[in-house]
Amino acid sequence: MAEYELMWSKSEGTWIDVEHAPKPPSVSVSPSGEIVEGSSVTLTCSSDANPAASYSWYRGNQTLSEEQNGLLHFTSISYKDRGNYYCQSKNHHGQTNSTLQYLDVQYAPKLLSVSVSPSGLIIEGHSVNLTCSSDANPAASYSWYREGEDTPEASGQTFTITDSRSEHSGMYYCEAQNRRGRLNSTLHLVIEPVKQKLVAVGILLAVLLLAAPLCAFLLIRKWRTSKPPSQLGEEPDNTERLPSTHSEQQQGDLQYASIHFVRPRTDPIYSNTTAAGTSRQTQQEEADVEYAAVNFRQASSSPKHFHQEPLEDPSALYSTVKKGSTNFM
């Protein structure tokens, strides 16, 4: 039986380098846990990529940094730095973004404000609301104190005085507090007694009572001065005045007319003559011809009396008036 000895040998290893685009990066926050305003915070972005990726940090559409090591560092973080962050890793094979990382920065109450409702003058007996608000993370709790007292008057964001009295007037302050700090703000509350309101109403009524007769007198006086004398029962002035202007001279030349209608008498010469073809209606219309005598005279000093001039006056004017129209056959 023949025996054979097998001999094994190993070749040297060969490295195969496979390039690829970055894998989705991961984000870490240091220190971990709660982030307090004023502390130092670092965000780190890392991903698997070949060749090595470069990194950029974003907050919304705003580019914050482009660092090769993928770090975003806050020396003293502020409450304004709260928000969502993400990083982007890329090489010449591609790019990819991380998921959003919310950076929660805690801080003591800020921007504390107090208000009173209703605003303006407050009369006792009405309900009054004192309101306190602030910006805080975590949310603040509120307590209301009256100046000089250690025990709070009320707790909560709104302090309501249901039946207010003048004794409630004074200085109040609101305290907003969370585990990161506290902040106070003061408010001066003034509640007017009812008697002052009654005095104000009485003064107003007195002013109105005094002003009413004066206003009525002025209105009546204005009305009388705006009316013509004839409407106020006054007699018109009949005093004759000499014309002083050209317009008055023209008014002084006004003439008064007296018109007389006279039935025409039949002329014996033409009484039996009738034009051929003239209808009976035409004869009747001619018989209805009337004459008008118009007399003009200078106006007398009294416009109420008129004087009729005789027909033989040389200034008389005669006109022939025909009724209807004459039809000829």
* Distance between CA atoms of residues 217 and 177, nearest Å: 66
Other Cβ atoms within 10 Å of 38 Cβ, number: 12
Task: Report whether pLDDT(125) > 90.
Answer: no
pLDDT of residue 80: 93
The pLDDT-based confidence of 57 (bands split at 50, 70, 90) is very high
pLDDT, tens digit (0-9, with 9 covering 90-100), for 74-90: 999 999 999 999 999 99
Task: Decide if pLDDT at 319 tops 50.
Answer: no
Phi, psi of 113 (to 5 degrees): -140, 150
In this predicted structure, the answer to whether residue 283 has a pLDDT above a threshold of 50 is: no
Residues 6+ apart with CB under 8 A from 161: 127, 128, 129, 130, 168
Predicted structure pTM score: 0.52
Given a contact cutoff of 8 angstroms between Cβ atoms, the answer to whether 85 and 72 are in contact is yes
Domain architecture of the chain: domains with CATH: 26-103 (2.60.40.10), 108-194 (2.60.40.10), 251-321 (no CATH)
